[in-house]
Amino acid sequence: MILDVLTGLLLVAGCAFFAVGTLGLLRFPDLRTRLHALTKADNLGLGLVVLALVPQAGSVAEAAKLLLIWALALVAAATSSHLLGRDAPEEQT
Amino acid sequence: MTVGLVLDLVLVTAVLVSAGLALFVPGRVASVMMFLVFGLVLAVVWARLGAPDVALAEAAIAAGVTGALLLDAVTERPRRGPDRRVGPRWLMPLLGAVAGAGLVVLLGAAALQAGPVEPGTGLGPTVLDRTDDSGVSHPVTAVLLAFRAYDTLLEVAVLTLAVVVVLSLHRDGRLETVPAPGAASPVPDALVRLAVPVIVLGAGWLLVAGSSRPGGAFQAGALLAGALILLRLGGIRLAVPTGRWLRPAVLVGLAAFLTLGYVTVALGQGWLVLAEPWQGTVILLLEAVLTVSIGACLAVLFVAGRRPAAGTGRGEEP
Amino acid sequence: MSDLLAALVLVPLGAAVVTALLPARAAGRVGLVVALALGAGSVLLALEVGSSGVLEAALGDWSIPLGIGLRADGLSALMVLLTGVVGAFVSVYASGSAAARGGALFWPVWLVLWAGLNAVYLAADLFNTYVALELVGLGAVGLVALGGPAALAAALRYLFVAVLGSLAYLLGVGLVYAETATLDIATAGQRLEGGVVMVTALSLMTVGMALKTALFPLHAWLPPAHSGAPAAVSPLLSALVVKASFYVVVRLWFGLPGADGAMAVATLVGVLGAVGVVWAAVVALRQTHLKRMVAYSTVAQVGYLFLLLPLAVPGLAAPAGAAEADAARLAWSGVAALVVAHGLAKSAMFMSAGTLARAHGSDRLDDLHGAVTRMPAVAMTFALSGVCLAGLPPTLAFVGKWQLVQAALAAGQWWWVPVLLVGGLLTFAYTAAGLRAMFDEPQRADELVELRPVARRMVVAPLVLAVLAVALGLRSVELLALVEVGSVLGSLP
Amino acid sequence: MTDGDVFLLLGVGLAVLGTVRLVLTGDHLRRVVALNVAGSGVLMVLVAVAYRSNPEEPDSVLHALVLTGIVITVSVTGLALAMVRRVERDEQDRQASHE
């Protein structure tokens, strides 16, 4: 029972971070600040969602796969934001 | 059921919005970006409709490799040449909208009415109870590689043919002249070194899982192609076989499938008839070769689209 | 004997893999040998079906509803025979010059296309037909793209058209499966009862195939693709590839029941075909380039084939002795004769046009002055195939057209007769326009361009095909008997 | 309105949307995107039919067909994109050689 409550809470927190990240994307003026908002908020949001699903996972293997998804998403997000930030010094119209 | 309904509505609107934007948004780059989103949302739709294999394939092939192909094409030419459209700008879209709406109503009505003579008599049930004597335990793989193996053979021929035709567009057909610039930055190299082993491991797992769970040669092959493309973008030239080894790598899948056919007919049982004892192993072996070949084919499709080095690859035909 | 069915598809695929790996010269030899072997194999199949009736095989030993069945009845054996004969002769023509082939990868792409064509004709399964059609579509696009950068834009448009047609067909297959829960055409035929779903599925598939067969309003992609293709590729496209999608239309309309419910669609297709016959022939008359004229001739001739639907579909439901049933049988064998005649004559015409263009350096009609004196055999081939296309006696096309006229009268649809006659007249007109350009004496001496040497086989192969097209008119009894085998309309009284 | 109907209609809608866009636009790259959207629409109709026949045990034959359809779509997309890029490079060279 506690696990379900925990899952619910973590899910809500995760979605909140996603919302904040999207808000940042819409509000911030230039590329780099948007990148900042997206990579930080969304990855944390994804982490929380994954943590929320871990207790619901049927077996340890499934939980490990969920965490692997998060790790890969982190690496991919870091690389793409680095490339975007580095290659576009002036404002991207 | 209302929660399910809400989920469906969210999904349907997401698909419609992303597809609409992918088709009608002004810029080319924006259109490709929205297409990637569309591909991922589609993978969720397949999962919702109870088709895990198709969801895996959609995420790996359609959103993955197709996305890479489109992105690479659009980065070469982000802006399009002058539009040669003639006639008033509003006429054609209006006609298109009216015709489209009529078609949707007509086809939708017909599709909704289409129901089997008596429900539940589909081919699915017959497949389910015949799966165990096909050598694999997962019904979709059984259909793909045992019951309808001829379909899959022709499909591998389609993929191989597409690659051969793309090679015929290149002057030397060996893709040696296509440069492989490194990303000249430590971060992508770190990603390559970290992600590629995991992806290859994932491809291997998908291949083996195919006989008992959703997975199989096509999803594994697409994952492998993703790894090869990542290596190529990381500046490692020989990741995608070019030069002498290009054509054997591309053709090995189709060649293996055909040899299986020739061997079975030579043994006198008839085309593609797999005898009882070693059915499962033969299918797994075939899937392994198919994975490598599909990975090579999709990676070559990515490399062959790129602009060859100046002065060698353009214009005149061999 | 049923192993021959799958062999006709899997042997060319294997040969394509081999030729793709070999260097250019060896690939040419292997390609030619395999082409001749396939020609012999298709003749063998035709003889086998002619003597012992419909041949069937279930691949992988899984029974039909589960596995995929291959089926060769009279019509498919005839189409495989046409593909075999024309394919072998065009392969001999292609081995004559590298320019005619367009590129080193001609052989692998052509052999895969050949396998796709045989797969379409032998498939008894709806989805298998879709995959085979994609193989044919991509193979044809690949061959057109061999024509170099100029032909690439036309090949790209052809690709979009071909894939759009296949998607419409796949949507139709989805509807049929939703209704009958089976992919086998014969089983689907038994479980289906005519209704809105069936008519919609049939119309969708017909539109898809009409796109790929370049039926009148949907034909704009064909002339640039077929005329831009290399010399050895154009005959394959016009004579063979276009027939595959028409064959699927025939297989659907005469395989799935309740087609007479869709009589309106059949009549519309017939009318579009008739308009296409006249309109494309008029446009062909005004062409300045030989290969483009021959390509428009293909669009016109395809119009004739679609006359089969309005004439034969009423015969499906009619009792055995009724006038409609006779009309249906006459139309069925008439169109079969026309398909073979067009296949032979059009490939001969396109090959001779290709040889003329290659020798004179361009296929512009004004550059071909005096061709008849300097290349008499090629000019004669062009004339002979023109005569056959126009349907003048004693050619095979005349047999076909005569039976269509009889069918139109028997079915009481007299309005198709003037279309047939005017179409024949116009075909003769644009053939004469081509010949007139060859007969003209070059006015100025400098106009007499230096002829590039042409291999002998590139003259002999089209000539033999043209003679065959004419001679078969006299011996067409066997052909028409073959097409009756296993046909749903029964055999002629 | 049984369970899978909304996706069946969505599939038909996507197929028609993609086809109309493909026919109307002159930009080859956008046509490749439209082709993929139309293809996904048709495949969605197939999967929806599989789902509607038996929501607990969807028809695995149709899933295999859709898998084949996806692989064919990616092959066609790969070929089309290679040709589009080559055609546009040739166009650019021709314009460059005119100036």
Q: Is residue B98 part of a domain?
A: no
Cis omega (within 30 of 0) for bond into C394:
yes
pLDDT at C373 over 70: yes
Q: Which of B77, B97, B119 is the C-terminal boundary of a domain?
A: B77
Touch test D–B: 3 Cβ pairs or more under 8 Å: yes
The reply to whether residue C181 touches residue B116, judged by beta carbons under 8 angstroms, is yes
Residues 178-197 (C) with a CB less than 8 A from some CB of D: 178, 181, 183
Its sign, for the CA torsion C19, C24, C30, C34, is: positive
Nearest to C128 by CA among B139, D61, B138: D61
Out of D12, D50, D81, name the one closest to residue B305 (CB).
Answer: D81
B163 lies in the same domain as B300:
yes
C228 lies in the same domain as C295:
no
Q: Is residue C271 part of a domain?
A: no
The reply to whether residue B187 touches residue A78, judged by beta carbons under 8 angstroms, is yes
Out of B110, B169, B317, name the one closest to residue C175 (CB).
Answer: B110
Name chain D contacts of C153, Cβ cutoff 8 Å: 87
Out of B162, B164, B318, name the one closest to residue C20 (CB).
Answer: B164
Q: Which of B49, B77, B105 is the C-terminal boundary of a domain?
A: B77
pLDDT at B115 over 80: no
Taking the alpha carbons at both ends of chain B, their separation in whole angstroms is 64
Distance (Å, rounded) from C-alpha C124 to C-alpha C80? 14
For residues C483 and C47, the answer to whether their CB atoms sit within 8 Å is: no
Q: Is residue B16 part of a domain?
A: yes
Type of residue numbered B272: L
Helices of type H across C391-456: 396-410, 416-439
Out of B183, B185, B194, name the one closest to residue A75 (CB).
Answer: B194
CA of residue C484 relative to chain centroid, distance: 19
Q: How confident is the model at residue B317 (pLDDT cuts 50, 70, 90)?
A: very low
Residues in Cβ contact with C34 at an 8 Å cutoff, skipping those fewer than 6 apart: C11, C12, C15, C19, C111
Out of D24, D86, D95, name the one closest to residue B92 (CB).
Answer: D24
Name chain C contacts of D46, Cβ cutoff 8 Å: 170, 174, 177
Tens-place pLDDT, residues A20-71:
988 888 888 888 888 888 888 888 899 999 999 888 888 888 899 899 889 9
Out of A68, A72, A86, name the one closest to residue B185 (CB).
Answer: A86
The reply to whether residue C149 touches residue B158, judged by beta carbons under 8 angstroms, is no
- Domain range for C326: 289-493
What is the SS3 assignment for C344? helix
- Region C270-295: mean pLDDT is 93
Q: Is residue C208 part of a domain?
A: yes
Distance (Å, rounded) from C-alpha C349 to C-alpha C462? 7
Residues 72-91 (D) with a CB less than 8 A from some CB of C: 72, 75-76, 79-80, 83-84, 86-87, 90
Alpha-carbon distance C411 to nearest alpha carbon in chain B (angstroms): 32
Name chain C contacts of D31, Cβ cutoff 8 Å: 160
Touch test A–B: 3 Cβ pairs or more under 8 Å: yes
pLDDT for B121 equals 62
Nearest to B153 by CA among B31, B262, B43: B262
**Touching check for C275 and chain B: CB below 8 Å?**
no
pLDDT for C493 equals 46
pLDDT for C477 equals 85
The reply to whether residue D87 touches residue C152, judged by beta carbons under 8 angstroms, is yes
B177 lies in the same domain as B267:
yes
- Region B80-101: mean pLDDT is 74
Structural domain count of chain B: 2
Name chain B contacts of C56, Cβ cutoff 8 Å: none
Q: Is residue B22 part of a domain?
A: yes
pLDDT for B318 equals 37
How far apart, in Å, are the Cα atoms of B168 and each of B314, C102, C151, C282, D81?
Answer: 12, 10, 13, 36, 14
Q: Which residue reads 């027939």 in tokens?
A: C243
Q: Which helix (H) or strand (E) holds C139?
A: helix C126-145
How many C-beta atoms lie closer than 10 Å to residue C443's C-beta?
Answer: 8
Tens-place pLDDT, residues C311-320:
888 887 766 6
pLDDT at D76 over 80: yes
For residues D85 and B77, the answer to whether their CB atoms sit within 8 Å is: yes
- Region B251-255: mean pLDDT is 93
Out of A68, A72, A79, name the one closest to residue B188 (CB).
Answer: A79
The reply to whether residue B96 touches residue D30, judged by beta carbons under 8 angstroms, is no
For residues B162 and B301, the answer to whether their CB atoms sit within 8 Å is: yes
C101 lies in the same domain as C191:
yes
The reply to whether residue B272 touches residue C60, judged by beta carbons under 8 angstroms, is yes
C325 lies in the same domain as C473:
yes
Q: Is residue C267 part of a domain?
A: no
Q: Chains meeting C at 3+ CB pairs closer than 8 A? A: B, D
DSSP letter, residue C71: E
pLDDT for C313 equals 85
C308 lies in the same domain as C223:
no
Give the helix, strand, coil percentages of chain A, each rounded to 5. Answer: 85, 0, 15
The reply to whether residue C104 touches residue B173, judged by beta carbons under 8 angstroms, is yes
pLDDT for C258 equals 67
pLDDT for B310 equals 66
C244 lies in the same domain as C293:
no
Distance (Å, rounded) from C-alpha B306 to C-alpha B315? 15
Who has greater pLDDT, C130 or B181? C130
Q: Per residue, what are the HEC states of A18-55?
A: HHHHHHHHHHCCCHHHHHHHHHHHHHHHHHHHHHHHCC
Which residue does chain A place closest to B189, by CA atoms?
A79
Lowest mean pLDDT among A74-88, C5-19, C124-138: A74-88
Tens-place pLDDT, residues C172-222:
999 998 888 888 888 888 777 777 888 889 999 999 999 999 998 899 999
- Domain range for B284: 138-309
Best to test chain D binding among B66, B95, B283, B314 (most D CBs inside 10 Å): B66
For residues B249 and B296, the answer to whether their CB atoms sit within 8 Å is: yes
B to D CB pairs, distance under 8 Å: 247
Distance (Å, rounded) from C-alpha C186 to C-alpha C327? 24
Taking the alpha carbons at both ends of chain D, their separation in whole angstroms is 62
Tens-place pLDDT, residues C406-461:
999 988 888 999 999 999 999 999 999 998 888 887 766 556 667 788 888 889 99
B196 lies in the same domain as B271:
yes
B148 lies in the same domain as B272:
yes
For residues D75 and B159, the answer to whether their CB atoms sit within 8 Å is: yes
Q: Is residue B103 part of a domain?
A: no
Best to test chain B binding among A22, A39, A82, A84 (most B CBs inside 10 Å): A82
Angle, helix A60-87 to helix B186-209, in steps of 10 degrees = 150
Q: What are phi and psi of A75, to 5 degrees?
A: -60, -45
* ipTM rounded to 2 decimals: 0.93
Mean of the per-residue pLDDT values of chain D? 90
pLDDT at B315 over 50: no
The reply to whether residue D12 touches residue B111, judged by beta carbons under 8 angstroms, is yes
Residues of chain C with pLDDT > 90, as a percent, come to 58
The reply to whether residue D38 touches residue C164, judged by beta carbons under 8 angstroms, is yes
pLDDT for B79 equals 80
Residues in Cβ contact with B13 at an 8 Å cutoff, skipping those fewer than 6 apart: none
pLDDT at B316 over 50: no
pLDDT for B313 equals 41
The reply to whether residue B265 touches residue C132, judged by beta carbons under 8 angstroms, is no
pLDDT for D39 equals 96
Alpha-carbon distance D87 to nearest alpha carbon in chain C (angstroms): 6
Chain B residues contacting A via beta carbons under 8 Å: 183, 185, 187-188, 190-191, 194-195, 198
Distance (Å, rounded) from C-alpha A50 to C-alpha A47? 5
Q: Which residue reads 């003889």 in tokens?
A: C47
pLDDT at C153 over 50: yes
One DSSP character per residue, C349-395 reads HHHHHHHHHHHHS--BGGGGTTHHHHSHHHHHHHHHHHHHHHT-TTS
Who has greater pLDDT, C1 or B232? B232
Distance (Å, rounded) from C-alpha C13 to C-alpha B253? 12
For residues D41 and B265, the answer to whether their CB atoms sit within 8 Å is: no
C199 lies in the same domain as C343:
no
For residues B230 and B189, the answer to whether their CB atoms sit within 8 Å is: no
Name chain A contacts of B191, Cβ cutoff 8 Å: 75-76, 78-79
Structural domain count of chain C: 2
Q: Name the token pair of C163.
A: 């894939």
Residues 54-93 (D) with a CB less than 8 A from some CB of B: 54-55, 57-68, 70-79, 81-86, 88-93
Which residue does chain D place closest to B92, by CA atoms?
D24
pLDDT for B42 equals 94
Which residue does chain B place closest to C65, by CA atoms?
B123
pLDDT at B270 over 80: no
CA of residue B3 relative to chain centroid, distance: 33
Distance (Å, rounded) from C-alpha B161 to C-alpha D79? 9
pLDDT for B274 equals 75
pLDDT for C491 equals 52
Type of residue numbered B304: A
**Touching check for C157 and chain D: CB below 8 Å?**
no
Distance (Å, rounded) from C-alpha B129 to C-alpha D57? 12
Q: Is residue C265 part of a domain?
A: no
Distance (Å, rounded) from C-alpha C229 to C-alpha C233? 6
Q: What is the pTM of this model?
A: 0.93
How far apart, in Å, are the Cα atoms of A32 and each of B29, B188, C406?
Answer: 19, 18, 78
Tens-place pLDDT, residues B183-200:
667 787 888 888 889 999
Q: What is the CATH number of the domain that holds D31?
A: 1.10.287
Structural domain count of chain D: 1
**Touching check for D46 and chain B: CB below 8 Å?**
no
Which residue does chain B place closest to D36, by CA atoms?
B62
The reply to whether residue C170 touches residue D46, judged by beta carbons under 8 angstroms, is yes
pLDDT for C178 equals 87
Best to test chain C binding among D29, D62, D81 (most C CBs inside 10 Å): D62
pLDDT for C192 equals 74
Distance (Å, rounded) from C-alpha B223 to C-alpha B230? 11
Distance (Å, rounded) from C-alpha A13 to C-alpha A48? 7
Who has greater pLDDT, C275 or C64? C275
How far apart, in Å, are the Cα atoms of B89 and each of B84, B86, D33?
Answer: 12, 8, 21
- Domain range for D23: 5-98
Beta bridge partners of C364: C289
Q: Is residue C266 part of a domain?
A: no
Alpha-carbon distance C20 to nearest alpha carbon in chain B (angstroms): 8
**Touching check for C22 and chain B: CB below 8 Å?**
no
Tens-place pLDDT, residues D14-61:
999 999 999 988 889 999 999 999 999 999 999 999 898 888 888 889
pLDDT for C129 equals 95
Q: Chains meeting A at 3+ CB pairs closer than 8 A? A: B
What is the SS3 assignment for C56? strand
Name chain B contacts of D37, Cβ cutoff 8 Å: 19, 22-23, 35, 38
Angle, helix C416-439 to helix C396-410, in steps of 10 degrees = 160
Distance (Å, rounded) from C-alpha C117 to C-alpha C243? 9
